[in-house]
């Protein structure tokens, strides 16, 4: 609540600055919507050719998940735990109404969900998204520096929550999720990944090993997933029957329009990807990339957080093993329709006598970095964290300054009662992020 208040006080919501497109400055929000709509629709077009040879992927599974139960208690509890928000997509019901009327709505929604899963039919509204362009980094005037986040039907999201919970439960109970994946999974996080990674690095230094880390970026990974390949993997992992049929309909022929402030673009159709902003998207992508660590094989340490991949190789003797693994990675990515962003993939070398061998992805020599942002933490090749500490100290000062600019008071009692808790909620949580992983 405090975060939202401060953010709204500092900058206007969903504000897209002047864009530079085809050497022309775009000021009008409606024109911006159409430009973003055309750009995102090109991303969602599946250019993955039919001549591409899909890698062989088989799995021996004992159990399958083909159907789930919808009971009134589960639906009611899911509604009850929704955030208390008024925001909604066009012609849909807000979370606040669903939450406050959970006892009344649960029986009706339970029947609706049951009918949808049994038939495989999905209301068109559930497959339509309003996409909000979210700035990533770089030049704000460049449309390539924005990612699409989908605002989807709230009632569909309730269905997705229940379905995703059952799918994840099935995968975990059958030990089908890779231990190298840390994204969007219970009891796993960025912090747990960093703790294990740093432990591996420090052990290597203690044993006088050289440590080479490859950071790999998949280009627009969520948006480029070939839907037919994803559906094949779901089936291989045991997601079949009614659930497989429903997810097939959920992913195919989705539509979207781009929204900026009060303006909205025409409707576009997507032909690839898992829709970012939906409940199912992170889980579906986790399943899609799940076999990669196994494919890379032993003797290296891959770590995934959703689509963020880093590969650690600790060694004493000079050999070509890591390059061989990178060649396997390249072939895997090509086979499964994912593009590696070569200009965003880097090498970090640790060890005072590290020979700093050159590595390639495809025919691109990876650039060496002396410091890199790893899951929000600035890591340098000396593992000193000095740059990270300076950065969070500077950010702490800026956040305090923002807080004091918005709230003017000379009353010391007000400061003691209100400003201190506001500081801890707005600022301190950012500074404490990942601190456990740096306590060695």
295 found inside a domain: no
pLDDT score recorded for residue 82: 95
pLDDT score recorded for residue 440: 41
Pairing of strands 128-135, 255-260: parallel
**Residue 366 · residue 345 · CB < 8 Å:** yes
145 found inside a domain: yes
**Residue 305 · residue 191 · CB < 8 Å:** no
**Residue 398 · residue 390 · CB < 8 Å:** no
424 found inside a domain: yes
Tell whether 260 and 395 lie within a shared domain: no
143 found inside a domain: yes
Structure tokens at 10: 């500092």
Q: How many Cβ atoms are within 10 Å of 58's Cβ, its own excluded?
A: 6
pLDDT 10s digit of each residue in the chain, 440 long? 556 666 565 554 447 899 999 999 999 999 999 999 999 998 887 666 555 667 788 999 999 999 999 999 999 999 999 998 887 666 678 999 999 999 999 999 999 999 999 999 999 999 999 999 999 888 999 999 998 888 999 999 999 999 999 999 999 999 999 999 999 999 999 999 999 999 999 999 999 999 999 999 999 999 999 999 999 999 999 999 999 999 999 999 999 999 998 899 999 999 899 988 899 999 999 999 999 999 999 999 999 999 999 999 999 987 899 999 999 999 999 999 999 999 999 999 999 999 999 999 999 999 999 999 999 999 999 999 999 989 888 888 888 777 777 776 556 665 556 677 777 776 666 667 766 655 44
Write down which residue in 206, 241, 271 finishes a domain: 271
Write down which residue in 271, 303, 334 finishes a domain: 271
Structural domain containing residue 429: 387-438
Euclidean distance between CA atoms 263 and 33, whole angstroms: 7
β strands within 116-175, DSSP E: 128-135, 146-151
The alpha carbon dihedral of 235, 239, 243, 247 has a sign of negative
91 found inside a domain: yes
Burial class of residue 137 in the structure, from the number of CB atoms within 10 Å of its CB (0-12 exposed, 13-18 middle, 19+ buried): exposed
Euclidean distance between CA atoms 110 and 106, whole angstroms: 6
Helix, strand and coil content of the chain, in percent to the nearest 5, comes to: 45, 20, 35
C-alpha dist (Å) from residue 236 to 61, 223, 293, 307: 8, 22, 17, 21
* Helical (H) or strand (E) element with 317: none
Angle formed at CA 337 by CA 139 and CA 152, multiple of 5 degrees? 65
Tell whether 391 and 259 lie within a shared domain: no
pLDDT score recorded for residue 216: 98
292 found inside a domain: no
How many distinct structural domains can be found in the chain?
Answer: 2
Based on C-alpha coordinates, what's the Rg of the chain?
Answer: 24
DSSP state of 56: P
Q: Shortest CA distance to 116 belongs to which of 310, 256, 269, 247?
A: 247
**Residue 194 · residue 374 · CB < 8 Å:** yes
334 found inside a domain: no
* Helical (H) or strand (E) element with 138: none
Tell whether 261 and 396 lie within a shared domain: no
Helix axes 72-80, 102-119, angle to 10 degrees: 120
pLDDT score recorded for residue 403: 76
Tell whether 32 and 165 lie within a shared domain: yes
pLDDT score recorded for residue 13: 46
């Amino acid at each position: 609540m405090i975060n939202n208040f401060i953010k709204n006080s500092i900058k206007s919501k969903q504000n897209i600055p002047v864009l530079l497109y085809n050497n022309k400055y775009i000021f009008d929000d409606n024109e911006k919507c159409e430009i973003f709509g055309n750009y995102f629709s090109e991303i969602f077009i599946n250019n993955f050719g039919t001549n591409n040879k899909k890698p062989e992927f088989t799995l021996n599974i004992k159990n399958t998940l083909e159907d789930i139960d919808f009971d009134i208690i589960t639906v009611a509890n899911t509604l009850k735990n929704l955030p208390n928000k008024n925001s909604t997509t066009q012609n849909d019901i807000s979370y606040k109404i669903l939450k406050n009327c959970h006892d009344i709505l649960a029986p009706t929604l339970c029947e609706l969900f049951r009918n949808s899963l049994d038939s495989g039919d999905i209301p068109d509204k559930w497959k339509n998204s309003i996409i909000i362009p979210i700035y990533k980094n770089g030049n704000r005037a460049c449309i390539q520096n924005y990612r699409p986040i989908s605002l989807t039907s709230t009632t569909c999201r309730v269905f997705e929550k229940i379905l995703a919970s059952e799918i994840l439960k099935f995968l975990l109970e059958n030990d089908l999720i890779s231990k190298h994946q840390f994204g969007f999974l219970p009891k796993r996080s960025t912090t747990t990944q960093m703790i294990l990674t740093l432990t591996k690095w420090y052990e290597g230094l203690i044993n006088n090993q050289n440590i080479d880390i490859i950071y790999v970026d998949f280009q627009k990974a969520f948006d480029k997933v070939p839907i037919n390949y994803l559906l094949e993997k779901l089936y291989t992992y045991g997601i079949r029957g009614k659930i497989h049929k429903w997810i097939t309909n959920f992913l195919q022929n989705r539509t979207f329009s781009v929204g900026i402030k009060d303006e909205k673009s025409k409707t576009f159709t997507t032909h690839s990807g898992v829709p970012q902003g939906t409940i199912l998207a992170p889980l579906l992508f986790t399943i899609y990339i799940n076999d990669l660590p196994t494919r890379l094989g032993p003797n290296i340490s891959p770590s995934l957080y959703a689509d963020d991949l880093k590969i650690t190789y600790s060694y004493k003797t000079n050999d070509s093993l890591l390059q061989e693994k990178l060649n396997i990675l390249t072939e895997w990515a090509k086979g499964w329709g994912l593009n590696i962003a070569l200009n965003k993939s880097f090498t970090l070398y640790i060890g005072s006598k590290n020979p700093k061998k050159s590595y390639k992805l495809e025919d691109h020599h990876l650039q060496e970095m002396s410091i890199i942002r790893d899951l929000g933490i600035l890591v340098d090749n000396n593992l000193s964290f000095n740059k990270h500490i300076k950065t969070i100290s500077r950010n702490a000062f800026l956040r305090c300054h923002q807080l004091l600019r918005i709230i003017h008071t000379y009353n010391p009692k007000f400061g003691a009662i209100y400003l201190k808790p506001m500081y801890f909620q707005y600022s301190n949580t950012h500074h404490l992020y990942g601190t456990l992983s740096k306590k060695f």
